[in-house]
Structure 1
Amino acid sequence: MTGSIWTLGEIADITGGALSGVAPEDAVGGISIDTRTLESGDAFFAIQGVSMDAHRFVPAALEKGAAAAVISAGEADRAIRVPDVLEALVALGRAARGRIGAEVPVVAVTGSVGKTGTKEMLRLAFGAGGAVHASAASYNNHWGVPLSLARMPADSEAGIFEIGMNHAGEILPLTAMVRPTIAIITTVEAVHLEFFESVAGIADAKAEIFTGLVPGGTAIVPAGSPHAARLIAAAEACGARVVTFGAEGADVSLVEVDEEGVIADVFGTRIAYELAPGAHIAHNSLAVLAALSVAGRDVFEGAAALSAWSAPKGRGRRVRLRPAGGDAVLLDDAFNANPAAMAAAIAALGRVPAKRRIAILGDMLELGPSADDLHRGLAPLLVDADTRIVHTVGTMTKHLRDALPFDLRGIHADNAADLIARLDPIEAGDAVLVKASKATGLSVIVDALESRYGMERRDV
């Protein structure tokens, strides 16, 4: 434990819990729901999920040094007993948000693509101007958001939160907890179509984030989206100020982007900054600059901090492989996939200088009745990117394979392990893209390639 963000007495008061075996003044350094990452001095919230009841891990949490376990069943030597553990976490998250001053910017970000990357850019950019608290990893659902809030220190000078959804109505309670001063939608794309009748319905669901804005809050909207007018109308209906980004004529627009960085126009002022290559990354960085400007932060300082940004594992990370005879590049984008993200990743592959471009693609999930056509639609993008070999994994990618020119068709496998066993060696000069929806498990292919060929991470 490096510091205290709560006392056990405060947690008990906020959650209506009863202390057992601990003192009210005992300090709490963090909030945990996972014993694998729990640190000594954390309060462990034993959440009961659909498939797992964390009460079974309470002894392990206390053995690792948890200050106390927040429980609703069983017994523990050091405990706060509450009626419902998840509701207790929500109450603590709301209290954490409530103790942050009105002058502190609190940014919430959602979107079909780019939420986590944009959140990490916001962390860097706002961190240049003071202590910033941000969601860890992709903690953007009904337990991740209150957990992220509950971890926010009282002296934070900015708060950055990611909010996700795959059904209408899911964002409403999450944005109500966060109460952002600034709300960003990165994109609206054809994702989760299994649960929506149209992309317009997805836009409406994303726009729910504006309902949580504090009075006088700002909505940041992608001007180039076909649904921009719909998003703007929803924001204005919530009383928000609207700022646009991305397209020419937007409040914050892209002037130039290349391998060295970006030049942006921010409310009429040109700002140049270094950033990892990728048009979609540059696009999302514009939303970050818009948020900095709205919050009254030094935009030049925040933009300069983006030079330290690199894609997280599974989200476009670039890794240098070392096959016999030289180097190769692995584009690790195995965490998630939808048609828009696939298109961006394939375009990124096409921009990498290479002797051979190889794509290893798995199923895109939750696309509903149009899934077959959406998989087939990737074929011309792969041809345009000068891809030499396309390996496919899963059920839906069979439709992609059938749509490919015969000479591009590589191995088709039912699962990732099968493909690993049959995969031809990577050669010097290759560029390899691995991308699929997370549930297809293609991350094990990334791990296998890194293990087989060694690796040196490239933060580019």
Structure 2
Amino acid sequence: MTQPHFTIASLLAATGGVAEGLDPAAPVNSISIDSRELGADALFVAIRGDRFDGHDFVAAALANGAAAALVSRDPGPGRILVPDALGGLEDIARAARQRSRAFIVGVTGSVGKTTTKEALRTVFEAAGETHASIRSFNNHWGVPLMLARLPATAQFGVFEMGMNAPDEIRPLSRLVRPHVAVVTNVAAAHLERLGSLEAIARAKAEIFEGLEPGGTAVLNADHPQLGVLRDAALAAGVSDIVTYGFADGVDWQILDPQNTADRAFATVLHEGARHALALGAPGRHMLSNATAALAVAYLAGIAPEVALKALGGFGAQPGRGQRRLLGPAEKPLLLIDESYNANTASMLAALEVFAAVEAPGGRKVLVLGDMLELGETAEALHAGLADAVRASGAARVHLVGQHMAALAAALPAGLVAGHVLHADEAADVIMDALAYGDAVMVKGSNGVGLGRIVTAIAARFGQSGNTQPE
């Protein structure tokens, strides 16, 4: 008989909560903060968010079949009462972590953390039962929710940790207690609140403070803040530091990178051995993310040939470079979706990849949105994209957001198809300007809302033929 993920009794023991009208032996096999997404025998956690209070949805959750609700007010039948619902979720996460025998990895970084997490998930799934964060559940409620869902039987766990201010990653890492902490990059993101690249590096380095004794820091070496990260790891008592990247002298060195329209290839050198790495998406950044996964897999005891085979089918994720061919096979529209996030490093990487893209039979078009949270440097950093935009080969550029005015001013007037402040203003103009045979890349910070433009393009141009992944 399969053991339940938790029981009401074990949840009460973990949280110190008080229950009314609940069977202590009743199973709880899923945990959710969304009353609309409840699995069988689910626990609904009524956390308070910036825009909602889960307590407003407790009755709906119970009516939708939740086994119980974790609440911090309004006690009653079917409810487990705790002082703070988020704190109770963290207690459940600790209980899940304490019983786990999985090899646990934490991932952070300014660029590439979600893609690296997904590369790790791909590799680990080839070796055993794996649990990984979904989407970008990487904040103060997303990490404990993902950890609380960690099955007792999992052999591997991968957790993404994000931040936009100091002292945010530290408690997350101490909750997750990873055996390996990966820092994918330090780049100009969240400058508005952190002020400098060194401050960003120190905030990312908080992940080392939660490492299990004897744990390993895995660091991308291709940025100027490597020394800050290394010093922080040593100060946190981490003696095992592994580096990767294109730089000379790293532990896992990427050599001879090559890209085709939809693939990337490289040789990875480690301890004298050469490994042939092939991926289902182009870009130096993709090779870097995959090499991080290869290095971590090695630390987990997974043979390189197993990891390399798994990575051969790994590609870009939705919102992070995923490609779709829309419409008729003989002359499709190529849509490259980079709409989830943007900072200077990821924007330049995406433009470099787009430069190598050939339109199926038309023009190359860019839709670029603001890079947010850059503070006083925002205008200069946006204007600084001009050379990369020109080098991308785009025939027309649509710009969205206040800060993109600086880029518009830095580009030739004939290249800029239009500049608006809001995504909804641009959608119809962009779609009317596109045609089958074009290649269009949509890139911007998630808060700009360019995902709606991606959805609209896919809906319109996917109607006239086959829609297929490239």
Deviates more, 1:390-399 or 1:265-274: 265-274
Equivalent-residue separation in structure 1 for 2:344 and 2:402 (angstroms): 16
Pairing partner for 1:396 from 400, 403, 406: 403
**Deviation of the 1:387 alpha carbon:** 1.3
Instruction: Tell whether the 8 Å contact from 1:325 to 1:428 is kept in structure 2 after alignment.
Output: no
Residues 221-257 of structure 1, C-alpha deviations (whole Å, 9 max, x = no match): 1122211112111112222200000023211111233
The equivalent of 1:156 in structure 2 is 154
> TM-score normalized by structure 2?
0.94
Pairing partner for 1:169 from 140, 163, 167: 167
Q: Give the aligned CA root-mean-square deviation in angstroms.
A: 1.7
Equivalent-residue separation in structure 2 for 1:99 and 1:19 (angstroms): 23
The equivalent of 2:271 in structure 1 is 267
The equivalent of 1:449 in structure 2 is 457
The equivalent of 1:209 in structure 2 is 207
**Deviation of the 1:74 alpha carbon:** 1.6
Equivalent-residue separation in structure 1 for 2:328 and 2:399 (angstroms): 22
The equivalent of 1:100 in structure 2 is 100
Instruction: Tell whether the 8 Å contact from 1:363 to 1:437 is kept in structure 2 after alignment.
Output: yes
Equivalent-residue separation in structure 2 for 1:76 and 1:364 (angstroms): 46
**Deviation of the 1:105 alpha carbon:** 1.6
Deviates more, 1:410-419 or 1:333-342: 410-419
Q: Is 1:286 equivalent to 2:286 in the alignment?
A: no
> What SS does the corresponding residue of 1:73 show, helix, strand or coil?
coil
**Deviation of the 1:427 alpha carbon:** 2.3
Deviates more, 1:62-71 or 1:141-150: 62-71
Deviation >6 Å, runs of 4+: none
Equivalent-residue separation in structure 1 for 2:100 and 2:83 (angstroms): 27
The amino acid of 1:267's aligned partner reads E
The equivalent of 2:309 in structure 1 is 304
Instruction: Tell whether the 8 Å contact from 1:323 to 1:427 is kept in structure 2 after alignment.
Output: no
The amino acid of 2:124's aligned partner reads F
Instruction: Tell whether the 8 Å contact from 1:309 to 1:459 is kept in structure 2 after alignment.
Output: no
> What SS does the corresponding residue of 2:397 show, helix, strand or coil?
strand
Distance change (3 Å), C-alpha of 1:255 and 1:372? same
Instruction: Tell whether the 8 Å contact from 2:93 to 2:175 is kept in structure 1 after alignment.
Output: yes
Residues 197-240 of structure 1, C-alpha deviations (whole Å, 9 max, x = no match): 21011111111111111111000011222111121111122222
The equivalent of 1:179 in structure 2 is 177
Instruction: Tell whether the 8 Å contact from 2:326 to 2:468 is kept in structure 1 after alignment.
Output: no
Equivalent-residue separation in structure 1 for 2:105 and 2:341 (angstroms): 23
**Deviation of the 1:76 alpha carbon:** 4.4
Equivalent-residue separation in structure 2 for 1:83 and 1:165 (angstroms): 26
The amino acid of 2:89's aligned partner reads L
Equivalent-residue separation in structure 1 for 2:244 and 2:329 (angstroms): 45
**Deviation of the 1:267 alpha carbon:** 3.0
> What SS does the corresponding residue of 2:25 show, helix, strand or coil?
coil
The equivalent of 1:417 in structure 2 is 424
Distance change (3 Å), C-alpha of 1:86 and 1:457? farther
> What SS does the corresponding residue of 1:112 show, helix, strand or coil?
coil
**Deviation of the 1:356 alpha carbon:** 1.8
The equivalent of 1:145 in structure 2 is 143
Equivalent-residue separation in structure 1 for 2:425 and 2:388 (angstroms): 26
Equivalent-residue separation in structure 2 for 1:267 and 1:19 (angstroms): 56
Q: Is 1:358 equivalent to 2:365 in the alignment?
A: yes
Residues 390-444 of structure 1, C-alpha deviations (whole Å, 9 max, x = no match): 1011211111111101221112222122112223332233110111111111111
Q: Is 1:320 equivalent to 2:325 in the alignment?
A: yes
Residues 321-364 of structure 1, C-alpha deviations (whole Å, 9 max, x = no match): 22797112111111111111111111111111124211101111
The equivalent of 1:33 in structure 2 is 33
Residues 167-217 of structure 1, C-alpha deviations (whole Å, 9 max, x = no match): 011111111101111000000001111012210111111111111111110
Report the identity percentage.
44
**Deviation of the 1:294 alpha carbon:** 1.4
Distance change (3 Å), C-alpha of 1:405 and 1:200? same
The equivalent of 1:367 in structure 2 is 374
Provide the aligned length of Structure 1 versus Structure 2. Answer: 457
**Deviation of the 1:303 alpha carbon:** 2.0
The equivalent of 2:126 in structure 1 is 128
> What SS does the corresponding residue of 2:312 show, helix, strand or coil?
helix
Equivalent-residue separation in structure 1 for 2:393 and 2:299 (angstroms): 41
Residues 96-151 of structure 1, C-alpha deviations (whole Å, 9 max, x = no match): 111123xx321000000111111011011111111111111111110011111100
Equivalent-residue separation in structure 1 for 2:236 and 2:468 (angstroms): 43
Equivalent-residue separation in structure 1 for 2:467 and 2:301 (angstroms): 35
The equivalent of 2:248 in structure 1 is 248
